[in-house]
Structure 1
Protein backbone atom coordinates (compact mmCIF):
# COMPACT_ATOMS: atom_id res chain seq x y z
CA UNK A 1 0.00 0.00 0.00
CA UNK A 2 1.42 3.35 -1.03
CA UNK A 3 0.27 5.90 1.57
CA UNK A 4 -0.75 9.24 0.08
CA UNK A 5 -2.18 10.82 3.22
CA UNK A 6 -3.01 10.50 6.88
CA UNK A 7 -5.90 11.84 8.91
CA UNK A 8 -5.96 12.22 12.69
CA UNK A 9 -9.49 12.25 14.07
CA UNK A 10 -9.92 13.20 17.75
CA UNK A 11 -12.35 11.19 19.89
CA UNK A 12 -14.21 13.50 22.31
CA UNK A 13 -11.90 16.36 21.47
CA UNK A 14 -8.84 14.15 21.95
CA UNK A 15 -9.60 13.40 25.60
CA UNK A 16 -10.64 9.80 24.84
CA UNK A 17 -7.98 9.26 22.19
CA UNK A 18 -7.53 9.49 18.43
CA UNK A 19 -8.27 7.50 15.30
CA UNK A 20 -5.49 7.65 12.73
CA UNK A 21 -6.43 6.84 9.14
CA UNK A 22 -3.78 5.98 6.56
CA UNK A 23 -5.09 6.58 3.03
CA UNK A 24 -3.62 4.60 0.14
CA UNK A 25 -3.31 5.66 -3.47
CA UNK A 26 -5.86 3.02 -4.55
CA UNK A 27 -8.47 4.28 -2.06
CA UNK A 28 -7.49 1.84 0.70
CA UNK A 29 -7.98 3.12 4.24
CA UNK A 30 -6.41 1.59 7.33
CA UNK A 31 -7.75 2.93 10.64
CA UNK A 32 -6.01 2.60 13.98
CA UNK A 33 -7.98 3.60 17.09
CA UNK A 34 -5.81 4.70 20.00
CA UNK A 35 -7.18 5.24 23.50
CA UNK A 36 -5.63 7.92 25.66
CA UNK A 37 -4.10 6.94 28.99
CA UNK A 38 -4.73 8.54 32.39
CA UNK A 39 -1.88 11.01 31.83
CA UNK A 40 -3.33 12.00 28.45
CA UNK A 41 0.09 11.62 26.88
CA UNK A 42 -1.42 10.93 23.45
CA UNK A 43 -1.94 14.02 21.31
CA UNK A 44 -2.44 14.99 17.68
CA UNK A 45 1.33 15.33 17.17
CA UNK A 46 2.36 11.86 18.40
CA UNK A 47 -0.76 9.87 17.39
CA UNK A 48 0.59 9.04 13.91
CA UNK A 49 3.86 7.68 15.33
CA UNK A 50 2.00 5.61 17.93
CA UNK A 51 -0.32 4.23 15.20
CA UNK A 52 2.74 3.21 13.15
CA UNK A 53 4.12 1.39 16.22
CA UNK A 54 0.82 -0.46 16.66
CA UNK A 55 0.82 -1.52 13.00
CA UNK A 56 4.43 -2.73 13.29
CA UNK A 57 3.46 -4.84 16.31
CA UNK A 58 0.55 -6.24 14.32
CA UNK A 59 2.75 -7.01 11.31
CA UNK A 60 5.17 -9.04 13.44
CA UNK A 61 2.46 -10.90 15.39
CA UNK A 62 1.94 -14.56 14.55
CA UNK A 63 -1.78 -14.70 13.73
CA UNK A 64 -2.05 -18.30 12.54
CA UNK A 65 -2.57 -19.63 16.07
CA UNK A 66 -5.16 -16.93 16.78
CA UNK A 67 -7.09 -17.82 13.62
CA UNK A 68 -7.24 -21.45 14.77
CA UNK A 69 -8.50 -20.42 18.23
CA UNK A 70 -5.26 -21.38 19.95
CA UNK A 71 -3.55 -19.07 22.41
CA UNK A 72 0.13 -18.21 22.01
CA UNK A 73 2.46 -19.46 24.74
CA UNK A 74 1.75 -17.59 27.99
CA UNK A 75 -1.33 -15.80 26.64
CA UNK A 76 -4.93 -16.31 27.77
CA UNK A 77 -7.08 -18.53 25.56
CA UNK A 78 -9.22 -16.56 23.11
CA UNK A 79 -12.74 -17.56 22.08
CA UNK A 80 -14.35 -16.87 18.75
CA UNK A 81 -17.66 -15.05 18.80
CA UNK A 82 -20.98 -16.64 17.93
CA UNK A 83 -21.17 -14.37 14.90
CA UNK A 84 -17.77 -15.56 13.66
CA UNK A 85 -18.82 -19.20 14.07
CA UNK A 86 -22.21 -18.46 12.46
CA UNK A 87 -23.94 -20.01 15.49
CA UNK A 88 -27.45 -18.64 14.97
CA UNK A 89 -28.89 -20.42 18.02
CA UNK A 90 -26.35 -18.75 20.29
CA UNK A 91 -26.93 -15.35 18.66
CA UNK A 92 -30.70 -15.74 19.19
CA UNK A 93 -30.13 -16.71 22.83
CA UNK A 94 -27.93 -13.64 23.38
CA UNK A 95 -30.51 -11.40 21.69
CA UNK A 96 -33.32 -12.78 23.86
CA UNK A 97 -31.19 -12.32 26.98
CA UNK A 98 -30.47 -8.70 26.04
CA UNK A 99 -34.13 -7.97 25.38
CA UNK A 100 -35.14 -9.51 28.71
CA UNK A 101 -32.58 -7.35 30.53
CA UNK A 102 -34.05 -4.17 29.02
CA UNK A 103 -37.64 -5.37 29.09
CA UNK A 104 -40.03 -2.51 29.74
CA UNK A 105 -37.99 -0.07 27.68
CA UNK A 106 -37.79 -2.45 24.74
CA UNK A 107 -41.50 -3.28 24.76
CA UNK A 108 -43.46 -0.68 22.75
CA UNK A 109 -46.76 -2.00 24.14
CA UNK A 110 -45.67 -0.97 27.64
CA UNK A 111 -46.12 2.70 26.74
CA UNK A 112 -49.60 3.45 28.07
CA UNK A 113 -49.81 7.23 28.25
CA UNK A 114 -48.58 10.00 26.05
CA UNK A 115 -46.01 12.39 27.46
CA UNK A 116 -47.12 15.10 25.04
CA UNK A 117 -49.24 17.68 26.86
CA UNK A 118 -52.64 18.26 25.27
CA UNK A 119 -55.63 20.45 25.95
CA UNK A 120 -58.07 18.13 27.69
CA UNK A 121 -60.96 20.63 27.58
CA UNK A 122 -63.44 19.58 24.92
CA UNK A 123 -64.75 22.21 22.59
CA UNK A 124 -68.48 22.13 21.76
Structure 2
Protein backbone atom coordinates (compact mmCIF):
# COMPACT_ATOMS: atom_id res chain seq x y z
CA UNK A 1 0.00 0.00 0.00
CA UNK A 2 1.44 3.36 -1.05
CA UNK A 3 0.49 5.76 1.76
CA UNK A 4 -0.88 9.09 0.54
CA UNK A 5 -2.73 10.45 3.56
CA UNK A 6 -3.00 9.96 7.33
CA UNK A 7 -6.03 11.18 9.27
CA UNK A 8 -6.46 11.34 13.05
CA UNK A 9 -9.93 11.50 14.59
CA UNK A 10 -10.79 11.78 18.29
CA UNK A 11 -14.11 10.75 19.76
CA UNK A 12 -15.50 10.01 23.17
CA UNK A 13 -12.69 8.09 24.83
CA UNK A 14 -11.06 6.96 21.57
CA UNK A 15 -8.55 8.11 18.98
CA UNK A 16 -8.64 6.63 15.47
CA UNK A 17 -5.76 6.86 13.01
CA UNK A 18 -6.69 6.18 9.38
CA UNK A 19 -3.99 5.43 6.82
CA UNK A 20 -5.18 6.00 3.22
CA UNK A 21 -3.47 4.42 0.22
CA UNK A 22 -3.38 5.62 -3.38
CA UNK A 23 -5.69 2.82 -4.54
CA UNK A 24 -8.40 3.78 -2.07
CA UNK A 25 -7.24 1.26 0.55
CA UNK A 26 -7.79 2.30 4.16
CA UNK A 27 -6.39 0.89 7.36
CA UNK A 28 -7.74 2.22 10.65
CA UNK A 29 -6.45 1.75 14.18
CA UNK A 30 -8.84 2.69 16.97
CA UNK A 31 -7.24 3.21 20.38
CA UNK A 32 -8.81 3.62 23.80
CA UNK A 33 -7.35 7.07 24.34
CA UNK A 34 -8.48 10.63 23.78
CA UNK A 35 -6.83 14.04 23.65
CA UNK A 36 -3.69 12.35 22.29
CA UNK A 37 -1.42 14.58 20.17
CA UNK A 38 -1.60 13.66 16.47
CA UNK A 39 2.06 12.68 16.17
CA UNK A 40 1.83 10.43 19.23
CA UNK A 41 -1.36 8.81 17.92
CA UNK A 42 0.23 8.08 14.53
CA UNK A 43 3.35 6.62 16.14
CA UNK A 44 1.28 4.39 18.46
CA UNK A 45 -0.95 3.22 15.58
CA UNK A 46 2.14 2.19 13.59
CA UNK A 47 3.49 0.30 16.60
CA UNK A 48 0.19 -1.56 16.95
CA UNK A 49 0.17 -2.54 13.27
CA UNK A 50 3.74 -3.84 13.45
CA UNK A 51 2.88 -5.92 16.50
CA UNK A 52 -0.21 -7.34 14.81
CA UNK A 53 1.41 -8.24 11.50
CA UNK A 54 5.01 -9.13 12.19
CA UNK A 55 4.71 -10.75 15.60
CA UNK A 56 1.44 -12.65 15.49
CA UNK A 57 2.05 -15.98 17.22
CA UNK A 58 -0.75 -17.81 15.35
CA UNK A 59 0.59 -18.95 11.95
CA UNK A 60 -2.96 -19.46 10.65
CA UNK A 61 -3.58 -15.71 11.09
CA UNK A 62 -0.36 -14.53 9.43
CA UNK A 63 -1.24 -15.01 5.79
CA UNK A 64 1.90 -14.41 3.73
CA UNK A 65 3.86 -12.88 6.62
CA UNK A 66 4.99 -16.15 8.19
CA UNK A 67 8.72 -15.82 7.46
CA UNK A 68 10.59 -14.87 10.63
CA UNK A 69 13.42 -13.09 8.74
CA UNK A 70 10.86 -10.95 6.92
CA UNK A 71 9.16 -10.14 10.24
CA UNK A 72 12.43 -8.90 11.72
CA UNK A 73 13.17 -6.82 8.62
CA UNK A 74 9.68 -5.28 8.74
CA UNK A 75 10.20 -4.24 12.36
CA UNK A 76 13.60 -2.72 11.60
CA UNK A 77 12.24 -0.78 8.61
CA UNK A 78 9.52 0.84 10.72
CA UNK A 79 11.94 2.05 13.36
CA UNK A 80 9.84 0.53 16.14
CA UNK A 81 11.00 -1.90 18.79
CA UNK A 82 8.78 -4.98 18.92
CA UNK A 83 7.16 -6.08 22.14
CA UNK A 84 7.44 -9.84 22.58
CA UNK A 85 4.12 -11.31 23.72
CA UNK A 86 4.73 -13.56 26.73
Q: Give the TM interval when normalised to the shorter protein.
A: 0.5 to 0.7
Contact 1:22 1:29 in 2 (8 A): yes
Offset at residue 17 of structure 1 (A): 2.3
Pairing 1:16-35 to 2, within 5 Å after superposition: 16-35=13-32
3-state SS in 2 of match to 1:32: strand
**Superposed displacement of residue 65, structure 1:** 4.9
Secondary structure of 2:37's aligned partner: coil
Bigger Cα displacement from structure 2, 57-66 vs 47-56: 57-66
1:30 is paired with a residue whose SS is: strand
More strand by share: 2
- List 4+ stretches of structure 1 deviating above 2 A: 40-45, 62-67
Q: Distance in 2 between matches of 1:51 and 1:41?
A: 15
Q: How many residues align?
A: 63
Ranges in structure 2 where 5+ consecutive residues have no aligned partner: 63-84
Structure 1 stretches of 5 or more lacking a match? Answer: 68-73, 76-124
TM-score normalised over the length of structure 1: 0.44
SS at the partner of 2:39? Answer: coil
Instruction: Tell me how far 1:43 sits from its aligned partner.
Output: 2.9
CA contact (8 A) 2:10 2:35 kept: no
Distance in 2 of aligned mates of 1:32 and 1:2: 17
